[in-house]
Every structure is written in structure tokens, then in C-alpha cells.
Structure 1
Amino acid sequence: MNDFEKLWRNKIIHHTKIVTNNKLKNEIKKIEDLNPVSYSNKIINVLKDNTDDTHIKEIFESSACHLPHIKLERAKSVYKKTKSIVEARNQLEKEFIVDIKFYKDLNDNQLEFIIKNGWGLAGVYKDGKIIATKVPSQFHEYFETNNTLKKKYFYCHCPRVKKLLLNKDVDFDSIYCHCGGGFYKDVWEYITDSNVSIRIISNLFKGDNLCQFEISFK
């Protein structure tokens, strides 16, 4: 088991205790399965047998990978001064453009495509909410293939379960992907210093071609 997997499992156990109770945490802790996919299925089944979907979503959102907060400081500063989600989003997009072009080795046309379609960290602002659509994890491979299943595989950001997407009849509970939504939850809660809520709009494991989240502010 690699370090990433160990860390993720520890986060799930920890947040199960925080969100629910010590008894359920211990039930999750008992699960022993080295395979990330079957382990995920087992914890989802145990959680569903013992608590409601609202708590399960919170556990997964709390166990997400996070962007280093140092990359959010300018957007946070803009929000502190203006109290404007729009202005903070605009600042976030400026920095995202610089980072993603270097990180993904994009040309100008590829970068323009991402921004035009509202993909990436900053998302788009609509009716008081942010609509965030993930950029393909393996960007160049995603656009080089015409195979639908491979496209989904190259799009997915989760190394734990993405191989499932190579199967035509994939059967996996998309509640798991609140973990991916937790990435955006952390971004905007840090920027605004207040709670936000996440709703999955589209999801690869529900048969969609993109992973898209709605971030609502309270």
C-alpha cells in the first residue's frame, strides 16, 4: 500500500469519527482490503448501512486532496477587501491560467479552450454560485484518443478508482466523488472564511463525460 492510499484511508477513518461517532469509525477501521476499489466499495456499504447520505458526503468531502493554501492567498486577500465572489474568482482565474499552462504544458489554443469552456480551478460564476468543471487529469492523452472509455479514464483525477472507467458497464457509487467536490469546498471555504456546500452536477461514474460541481455560498 502506497503512502497516498494510507493517508486517504486514515482521513476517511478520522472524518467518520468526527462526522458520525466512534463506533462507526471502528467499523470502518476493521475493513482490511489492499485493493483501493473494493476497499472503497466496502466502506461505502458500511457507511450506507449505518448513516445517511448527508453524512457520507461530508465524510468524503472532508477527506479530499487539497490545493496548497499558499496558492489561494491572493484570491483570499481580494475577497477580504471586496467581499465579492466574482472578484475573488477573477483573481483565482488569473493565477490558474499561469499555473495550468506550465503544469500541463499547454499551447495558447488549448488554454483558450479551457477558459472558454469554464474548466479548471476558478470555474464560472452563475446566479450567485460557482460552477466548477475539472480539467482532464491527463490532458494531452485525453485529447489524443477518440475512445470514449479511455477519454473518461484520462479525464479522471482519482488514481484510486479511475481504472474502473475503462469498463463499459462500470458500477460504482458516485457518492464517492464528493471527495473530488471536497477539493473545491476547501478552496472556497479558505477564500471566504465561511462554510460552502457542494452539489455534483455531472459525474463520470453516473455516465457523464465531465465532472462538474456547484458551489453554493451561505
Structure 2
Amino acid sequence: MNHEIFRERYKRFSEEDEAIQLSINTIIAFEHYIEKDIEESTLDDLKAYMNHLIITNANKYNNVIHIARYYYYVDMKDHYIQMTKYFNTLGVLENIVDRIELYGSKELKDKVLQDIELPPFLSDSTDMPHYTKRFLDILNKHIPQDTCNHILAGNNHGIPKESFDQEKQYYNEASSFKEYLLDKHARKVQELTDYYNNNQIWFEQVITPDVIEFVKDNPEILGGTIKDDKLYITKIPYDINNFLNAENDTLARYYACHCSFVRENIKQETEDIPKEWCYCSGGFAKYPFEVLFDQELDVKLLTTPLDGQRLCRFEIDLSNVDYKK
């Protein structure tokens, strides 16, 4: 590995030399396991090492986050994206379980916990549909479907409210909510353009001119449209380049899906996972607007790749919100 580039980047975090060396050591441990330099590693090497960490009970965040960052620093895009898949599941099911108390009781939550089996951190995405199906079965065993939908539709990734402070300012400065949505979409298109011009990964995505045009032509993606007090949101496909070039509907649905818990099942079809699981994604879609309006919102699942559609689309009810019209 290139120690110098790693140290230079971590110095920006105001890390002490000793702490930086401990971080480097986690990469060295990976290199020792695969018996090659990290820059020569394959995706199969990564998967094997993650499995090794699970088996040895060393599947801890601090044992892998520095590997992910190094891949980002040296522009190994495919490897970095593979690492993000492991982090995308971290704490999500636990947060869903915690929400049971909001719509039930601690006793109900404890009953659910007695039955469920949570996947180990760093589990491969091909294993996740089994855990997801079992998790949903247990929820539905104890809780009515409508209540389950509300439980699933939370801020399950634990995004801080402060992340949307700038968006609140944009909204406050807009003359109407519609104007805010148009401005948000335009800003996001420009953001994608900037990432493309700088050859940077945007979250888990490589940005191309086709991606920019696709988003530009779809105001519900990274923006939203409002009609009759209903806000409509469509999620940007997860692997948008492959989505745009997919040879069939199955592959398009697969590349559209963001969810590491069910994505592989679109191709494998090993588990019968109901579309209601995607209320979890609905929670992610509505949370920025809950912060904006400082109240919980109801979301309705309209379409999902899990149910044969190409895109995730949601309707968010604003009929009880005092927003700028």
C-alpha cells in the first residue's frame, strides 16, 4: 500500500501518528491475509476477507473502514463500491426493531427480538435475502401489516437531522415548496455534473453524461413534484449506468435497487420477499422532508423493483402539513 497517501489524507482528520498507524495496520492485516498488495486485490479477495472477519469474530467497523477509504483514495472505484455495500446494512435492522416501541410496546419488541436472527456485519449480499425474509416473517407474525409499514418507514440509517440544515435554509428562502423542489432538483443535477467533471464517485455511483441527462429529465429524481398535497419521489437507480444499458427488465430492476437486503433476490428469486419491505426505502425518501417540516409524514409505496417495476416511487402525504403553497 501507499503509506504516504494514506498518512497525508488522515492528517487532514487531525489524527495523531499513532492512531494513523493503527488504521494502516488494519490494511496490512488484509494484505497479509490475501498475500498481496491491496492495490492488487480482487473483489473475491474482499469477499473472502469479510467472511474471514465474521468467522474470527473480528467483523468490526474499525477493521474495514480504513480499507474502504484507501480504495477511495487510490481511485479503485469497483472495490470502494463493493465496500459501501457492507456499510449500507449497518444498524438498519436494529433501528427497525427499536421503532417497534413507537407503535407497540417494549414487551412486543422483546418478543420480536426473541425470534429474529440478525445477519452478521459484513455478510455477503447474496446471503441477505434469507435474513430479510425471516425478519419480515417475524414482524408480520407479531404485528399487523399496516403497523409494520409504519415501523419500516423510519430513518433506519440513522441520518442526523443536522445533515439537512442547508436544505431547510433553501426552503425558508424559497417563495413556495414547488419552487424549492425545482431548485433542489437543479442543484442536484449540477452536483452530479461537478462529480462527473472531477471524476469522483457520487455515493456509490460513477457519473456519466447519460446519468446527468436521465436525472435532468426526471424532476422526481433527487427533487420531487407536488400535486394535490401529495409529494412524489422517485429514487435514482443504484447502479444507474448499468440500469440505463440493461438488456432486460430483470437486470434493470436489479440495477435500480439500492437495498442490500433484497437486491440479489431480484436475480436469484430464492426468497418470496413481499414488496412491503420497501417501506424501509420509503422512510429514507421521506425523512429529509420530515426534517424540513419538523413532523412525521405518511408515505405510500407506489412502485418497486421488488414487485416487477423498474423504479422505486413513493407518494408522501402533505395534507396535514402547513407548507408554502
Quick one: which of 9, 19, 33 aligns to 2:103? 19
Quick one: which of 244, 248, 257 aligns to 1:156? 257
Match of 2:305 in 1: 204
The answer to whether the 8 Å contact 1:136/1:157 transfers is yes
Matched residue type, 1:10: E
CA 1:105/1:167 → structure 2, altered by over 3 Å: closer, same or farther?
Answer: closer
In structure 2, runs of 5+ residues without a counterpart are 1-53, 62-86, 120-126, 196-201, 321-325
Q: Is 1:132 paired with 2:217?
A: no
Q: Is the partner of 2:215 in helix, strand or coil?
A: helix
- CA-CA distance at 1:155 after TM superposition: 0.8
The answer to whether the 8 Å contact 2:189/2:212 transfers is yes
How many angstroms apart in 2 are the aligned matches of 1:186 and 1:21? 23
Q: Is 1:175 paired with 2:267?
A: no
The answer to whether the 8 Å contact 2:117/2:135 transfers is no
Farther-moved stretch of structure 1 (91-100 vs 196-205): 91-100
How many angstroms apart in 2 are the aligned matches of 1:118 and 1:94? 9
TM-score by length of 1: 0.86
Q: Is 1:97 paired with 2:189?
A: yes
TM-score by length of 2: 0.60
Quick one: which of 11, 27, 32 aligns to 2:117? 32
Quick one: which of 161, 164, 185 aligns to 1:72? 164
The answer to whether the 8 Å contact 2:133/2:272 transfers is no
- CA-CA distance at 1:168 after TM superposition: 6.0
| Aligned-residue CA RMSD (Å) | 2.5
Deviations 1:27-75 (A, max 9, x none): 2222225343222222222222222222211111115336665553333
Farther-moved stretch of structure 1 (137-146 vs 179-188): 137-146
Percent of aligned positions with the same letter in both sequences? 22
Farther-moved stretch of structure 1 (33-42 vs 67-76): 67-76
Q: Is the partner of 2:169 in helix, strand or coil?
A: helix
CA 1:109/1:13 → structure 2, altered by over 3 Å: closer, same or farther?
Answer: closer
The answer to whether the 8 Å contact 2:253/2:308 transfers is no
In structure 1, runs of 5+ residues without a counterpart are none
State the structure with bigger RCO (CA 8 A, min sep 6), 1 or 2.
1
How many angstroms apart in 2 are the aligned matches of 1:147 and 1:161? 19
Matched residue type, 2:117: E
Match of 2:71 in 1: none
